[in-house]
Amino acid sequence: MGSRSKKGRRGTAEKGSRGDGKGGGAVPQVESRDNFIPTDHERRVLLELIQSPQESLESIANELKITLAALTIYLATDDAASLFARADLAHARHARSAADTVQPTARARPAPWLRLASCRRGRITGTRTGATESRLFGKPRQIGTDRRFTMSLRRIVAVVCGVTSLLLVSMQALASEPPAGASELNLKAMESLRKGEWEIARRVAKDAAAASKPDSVDWAEAMLLLATAELRSGDRVAASATWKQLEPALAGVQADHWLHREARGLRTQILGDAPPAPPSPPGRSIPKEGEARTTTDLGVTLWSIRYANSQHDWKEAARLTAEALERNDLDDAASRCDVLLHRYAALRHLEDPGASAVSQQFDEKANDLPASSTLPLQMALLRESLGDKAGGPALPSAYVPPADDRWTVVKPESVGADPAKIREHVEYNRITGADAVLVLRRGKIVSEWYSPLYREPVLTMSSVKSINGLLAGLLVGEGRLRLDDPVSKYVPEWREGLAAHATVRHVLTMTAGLPKRRDMGVAASGESGMNAFVRQLRPEWEPGTRWAYSNEGAQLMSPILEAAAGEPLTRYAQRALFEPMGLRRTQLRTDGVGNAITYADAATTLREFAAFGQLVLDDGRVGDRRLLASEWMQAMTTPTSQRAGYGMMWWLYEKPRIVAMEGYLNTSCWVFPELEVVVVRVQSTPYLHARENFDARRMFEMMERAMRN
- Give the torsion sign (CA, 50, 56, 58, 62): negative
Query: What's the pTM?
Result: 0.62
3-state secondary structure of 584: coil
**pLDDT greater than 90 at residue 554:** yes
Q: Which residue has the higher pLDDT, 489 or 332?
A: 489
Among the listed ranges 262-271, 310-319, 557-566, which one has the minimum average pLDDT value? 262-271
Among the listed ranges 25-29, 157-161, 255-259, which one has the minimum average pLDDT value? 25-29
Q: Mention every residue, 6+ apart, whose C-beta is less than 8 A from residue 538.
A: 494, 497, 498, 499, 513
pLDDT of residue 393: 64
User: How many C-beta atoms lie closer than 10 Å to residue 586's C-beta?
Assistant: 24
Tens-place pLDDT, residues 519-543? 668 887 778 899 999 999 999 999 9
Among the listed ranges 247-251, 407-411, 653-657, which one has the minimum average pLDDT value? 247-251
**pLDDT greater than 60 at residue 232:** yes
Report the alpha-carbon distance of residue 279 to residue 623 in Å, rounded.
Answer: 58
Q: What is the 3-state secondary structure (H, E, C) of 599-647?
A: CCCCEECHHHHHHHHHHHHCCCEECCEECCCHHHHHHHCCCECCECCEC
Indicate the CATH number for domain 461-602+624-641.
3.40.710.10
Report the alpha-carbon distance of residue 553 to residue 559 in Å, rounded.
Answer: 11
pLDDT of residue 538: 96
Q: Which residue has the higher pLDDT, 310 or 477?
A: 477
Cis peptide before 38 (omega within 30 of 0): no
CA distances from 650 to 4, 402, 475, 647 (A): 51, 30, 17, 5
The domain limits of the chain are 6-175, 182-271, 298-385, 461-602+624-641
Among the listed ranges 367-371, 484-488, 635-639, which one has the minimum average pLDDT value? 367-371
Q: Are 523 and 531 in contact (CB under 8 A)?
A: no
**pLDDT greater than 80 at residue 170:** no
Task: Tell me the CB-side half-sphere exposure of residue 361, using CA atoms within 13 A.
Answer: 16
- Average pLDDT taken over every residue of the chain: 76
Tens-place pLDDT, residues 33-75? 333 344 454 445 444 544 444 434 444 445 554 454 444 443 3
pLDDT of residue 645: 93
pLDDT of residue 149: 44
pLDDT of residue 126: 31
Question: Are 182-271 and 461-602+624-641 the same fold in CATH?
Answer: no
Identity at 3, one-letter amino acid code: S
Q: Tell me the average pLDDT across 443-454.
A: 96
**pLDDT greater than 60 at residue 686:** yes
**pLDDT greater than 90 at residue 22:** no
Q: What is the DSSP letter of 687?
A: -
Q: Are 402 and 458 in contact (CB under 8 A)?
A: no
Among the listed ranges 10-19, 192-201, 637-646, which one has the minimum average pLDDT value? 10-19
Q: Which of 444, 467, 439 is nearest to 604 (CA)?
A: 467
CATH of 182-271, one of 1.20.950, 1.10.1740, 1.20.120, 1.25.40: 1.25.40
Report the alpha-carbon distance of residue 508 to residue 544 in Å, rounded.
Answer: 11
pLDDT of residue 21: 35
Q: Return the bridge partners of 590, or none.
A: 596
Among the listed ranges 241-250, 403-412, 429-438, which one has the minimum average pLDDT value? 241-250
Q: Which of 170, 163, 133, 126 is nearest to 148 (CA)?
A: 133
Q: Which residue has the higher pLDDT, 172 or 193?
A: 193
The DSSP code sequence of 181-203 is PHHHHHHHHHHHHHTT-HHHHHH
Q: Which of 216-230, 504-518, 570-584 has the highest mean pLDDT?
A: 570-584
